[in-house]
Amino acid sequence: MTLSQLINKQVALAEVKGSPESVKHVEVAIINEILDKGRMQIVDHATVQDALVAYPTEHDYGRLGKKVGADYVLAVKIKNFDINEREGYDKVTEEDSVLAEESGERGAKVLGTRYEKVKGWNGLVKLQCTFFDVAADKVTYEGFGEAADTWNTRDKDKHEKGYMGKMQLLEQLAGRAITDFFEKIPK
């Protein structure tokens, strides 16, 4: 299977396996990726959910795809959706006008040192994605999408949205992992 074969095809998102919280983020990332890139058409979620009642397992993907009118069925297993938090202190040295005034060195450049509490997060999202070709009745492509990043509160100036919490980092990584998967599909 190639990426060009997916253009304008109907794809049913059959399942996303993982914790309930991670599933929602990954589903949104998949929909956003498909909408942003315009690679394919996604079958309505309610239609797929109704059909999954009759065809609930991966062995039924061929029948599921035919029932909802899909060319391909996409299944995703969330291998990692993890974040580790770290805390510590940064030493900050900067010009201190109060210290200059107290020391009698008004007008002189006096440096003061203080400590700032900082937090950091290491995030990792890894997804195993499988495309099932309904017409051929077989899996035609399987691969992984992965994204990892570290964010620290001291880096807030580097991020366009400023402060980024744990869930925002995981949402961003889910989107990047899906993009990574699609970019690995042969053109």
Q: Report pLDDT digits (tens) over 51-72.
A: 999 888 888 999 999 999 999 9
User: pLDDT tens string for the chain (187 positions)?
Assistant: 888 888 899 999 999 999 998 999 999 999 988 888 877 899 999 999 999 998 888 889 999 999 999 999 999 999 999 999 989 888 888 887 777 777 777 667 778 788 888 888 999 999 999 999 999 999 999 999 999 998 887 776 655 555 677 888 899 999 999 999 999 999 8
**pTM metric for this prediction:** 0.80
Q: Locate tokens 């035919």: which residue?
A: 66
Give the domains, in start order, of the chain with CATH numbers.
Answer: 3-83+124-184 (3.40.50.10610)
What are 155-172's pLDDT values in tens digits?
Answer: 766 555 556 778 888 999
Contacts for 161 with CB less than 8 Å, ≥ 6 apart: 168
